[in-house]
Amino acid sequence: MIEYIVPSNMDDRILSRGAEVLALGGLVALPTDTSWSITCSFKSTEGIKKLRALSGEREERYFTLLCSAISQFGEWCQMDTSRFRLINRLTPGPYVFILKTLRGTEKALGLRRKELGVRIPNHPVALGITQALGLPLYSISAKRSMIPGFKGALPQVNPDTPALSLIPEDELFQEAWELDNIEGLDLILDSAEEQRRIFSTILDISGDAVTVLRQGAGIWPA
C-alpha cells in the first residue's frame, strides 16, 4: 500500500498510520537523504524477523538504527565528548556511525555484536516517522535484488571490508512505485520525489581514530 506524504507539509494522520504499522510488526519503506530505506521498529520481534528475511541476513549487524536525535541511541552506545561533537556536527546527514554498545545493550536489544550502526537522516519523512513512533527504526537499503526473479550485477567484494560488499547503485530505486514489487512491505511512504541512488558514508568511530568503511554521499574528512 502506498501513502502519499508531502515533506514540506506532512499529514500527522499518515505519520501516525506509519507508526502504527511499525508498532504492529510491519515493514515501512520510506525516503531518506540518500536512497530508499525499508524499516521496522527496533523493539518489534516480528518486524526484525521480517527485515532479516527480506535482507537475507541472519543478524542485525547489517541493519542501521535510524533515529531522529542523538538521545535516541545515546542510552545504548558508548559516547564521549569528542564522539558527540562529531555526530552532532554531521547530523542530520548521510552518515552512519559505528559505535560500541554499552554493557548490557546486546542482551537488552537482542544483539549478537558489541557495535551498533546509527544514523540521523536529513529527510523530514524519515525523521517524522521515528518521532511519531517514539522509537528508533532498524533499516536496510531497498534493493532491486529483493524483487523475486530479479537478475542484476553481483555485489563487488571489498577485500578491506568484506562484510560491506559494494552494491551497484543501479540496484537502488528512484520512484516509490518501483518498490511495490518487493514482497512483505506493508506500507510505502511516497514523497513524490526522485530519490538519489546513492549510499550513506559509514564512519567507524568505535576506536581511537575515525575509519571510513564506505565512502558514500557524506564527505569525509568533513
CATH of the domain at 70: 3.90.870.10
In a domain, 219, yes or no: no
Q: How far apart are CA 200 and CA 186, in angstroms?
A: 25
In a domain, 221, yes or no: no
164 pLDDT higher than 70: no
Query: What cell numbers appear for 188 in the block?
Result: 510505502
Q: How far apart are CA 112 and CA 191, in angstroms?
A: 35
In a domain, 184, yes or no: yes
111 pLDDT higher than 80: no
Tell me which amino acid residue 14 is: I
pLDDT confidence band for 163 (50 / 70 / 90): very low
Q: What is the pLDDT of residue 162?
A: 42
In a domain, 220, yes or no: no
Domain extent for 107: 2-214
Q: How far apart are CA 168 and CA 11, in angstroms?
A: 34
Report which DSSP code applies to 166.
B
**pTM score, two decimals?**
0.87
pLDDT confidence band for 195 (50 / 70 / 90): confident
Number of domains the chain is built from: 1
Which residues are CB-contacts of 151 (< 8 A; sequence separation ≥ 6)? none
| Predicted confidence (pLDDT) per residue in 28-78, tens digit | 999 999 999 999 998 999 999 999 899 886 555 668 999 999 998 888 888
DSSP 66-126: E-SSTHHHHTTB---HHHHHHHHHH-SSSEEEEEEBPTTHHHHHT-SSSEEEEE--S-HHH
152 pLDDT higher than 80: no
Which residues are CB-contacts of 107 (< 8 A; sequence separation ≥ 6)? none
Measure the N-to-C terminal CA separation of the chain; round to a whole number of Å.
Answer: 39
| Predicted confidence (pLDDT) per residue in 84-105, tens digit | 999 999 999 999 999 988 876 6
User: Cα torsion for 26, 27, 28, 33, to the nearest 10°?
Assistant: 140
Q: What is the pLDDT of residue 66?
A: 96
Q: What is the pLDDT of residue 112?
A: 63
pLDDT confidence band for 156 (50 / 70 / 90): very low
- Paired with 118 in beta bridges are 65, 97
